[in-house]
Every structure is written in structure tokens, then in C-alpha cells.
Amino acid sequence: MGPIGVFDSGYGGLTILQQLRKSLPERDFIYLGDNARAPYGSRSFDVVYEFTRQAVMHLFDMGCDLVILGCNTASAKALRTIQQNDLPLIDPAKRVLGVIRPTVEIIGDLTNSRHVGIVATEGTIRSKSYELEIAKLHPDITVTGQACPLWAAIVEAGEAESEGADYFVSKRIRQLLERDPLIDTIILGCTHYPLLMTALRKAVPAGIRIVPQGEYVANSLVDYLHRHPEMDSRCSRGATMRYYTTESPERFKECARIFLHEDINVEHIDL
């Protein structure tokens, strides 16, 4: 038995981790942030895959049989290759899951107009992962993606409640809705973006639903463990939490406070 691993290129996956801990409070978790090499958003598919594979292997070595990629870019650019090519060779019993599929599965129940917007990093938008996954499950839904440079940086700088945040969020939301005025649901396709909810609520017209991922990812994991008792039995229950970063632990602690609103202990590791 071992903890559930949660990986992100930086801090955004902490919003996923929060919801996972809320839904599965008895479980043990390890969070690994590759902050030294973040952001992943503008990196190539090959680089994101290699960095993500290294992190997953490290979490496996730390005893995790189940790893959640709490990062949209890693989920978009690396998850499928790891699942199809690496896991059969490493250990067919281990599992790596992402954050895109759980959101896509629920989106058909959330939109009435069948027009959905995605706001995300440049890498996630360029990958068209949301469009492809939504087309598989909900071919009647029209998807429009909008890259949002600076949003994640604004959050990490602690400026999510600033006038600057309001400006840049409003600008990208306006561009998105100009491209498809029929959008009635907007998916936050980056795990940093829930911290911009104040600015988003100002910018997004009434009647348009804003969809953060954490709750749906957590619900999906609970359902997954219920449907896969063999994996459920391999995930330990001690209610422990460990944090690791490839960057400065002190820097990680400062930024993590923005996401978690608590002080944590962090250890440095090298990938």
C-alpha cells in the first residue's frame, strides 16, 4: 500500500489536491511540483512528456501506485503516451490519470446551448485535447478555445485580486465570447484559474457557467476507486500529506500559501 501521487509542473495542481483531500480525507497523498522547470505551457510535446515521465517514475519509486496529473498541460501532452507506451513496460498494475477526461465527461450535463468555451494555457489550447475529448463523448457540442497568457503568472505573483487581474481576465473572456456568443459554459482548463474566480465573475456575463476542475476530478477519482477495488486496496489510509518541489522549498511554501491558505512542510528533490 502507498500514497496517491499528485503531480503538477508548478502550483496549480494544489487546487486539485485540495478537492481530492476533501473528498478522500482518509487517504495519504504526495504532491510533487516541478517548479524548477515550470511553466510547461509553452514547451513542446516531447519535452513535456519527458519531464512528466520523470516525475511519474519518481512518484512510483516513492511508493505511489496511482498518480494523478493535476496539470492540464501534462494531461494534454503526456498522459496518453505514458498510459499506452510506458505503463505496460513499467508495471501494468500502476495507473496514471489526468484532469481533462473527468471534466469532459460531465460537460454534457452542464451546457444547454451546446457551445462551450475553454480558457487555458497556450500549450493546452494548441494541443486541442479538450476539443478532441469532447468530440468523442459529445459530438454535438461546439468548442472554442482561448489561450490566456499571464493568467497563471498573475496568480503566482499573488495578484489575483488586483486591477491587473481584472484587466487581463476581462480581455481574454471578451475575445472568447466575441468568437462564439452562444457559449453558455466556460471550462477553466488550467488549475491556477480557480484563484481568479473574483475577476472571472466580474468578466463573465450572468447566465454563463464557470467550471473549475477540482470538484469533478475528485468525484471521478472517488468513482474510479469504487469501480477498481484492486487499486483502492493499494492506496493507503493514514490521512498524511507530503510535499516535494524541484525548486526552493521556501519559495514553494510562500506560493503554496496562496493556494492552500496554510503553512506546509516541503522537501527539495531532483528529477
Which residue numbers are catalytic?
71, 190
For 266, phi then psi, to 5°, come to -130, 140
Residue type, 185: T
First to last CA, the chain: 24
Closest CA to 49 of 96, 13, 118: 96
Contact predicate 163/170, CB 8 Å: no
Number of residues that make up the chain: 271
Question: What's the CA angle centered on 241, arms 26 and 97, to 5 degrees?
Answer: 80
Contact predicate 96/74, CB 8 Å: no
User: How would DSSP label each residue in 211-251?
Assistant: E-SHHHHHHHHHHHHHH-HHHHTTB--S--EEEEESS-HHH
Tally helices (H) and strands (E) across the chain.
14, 10
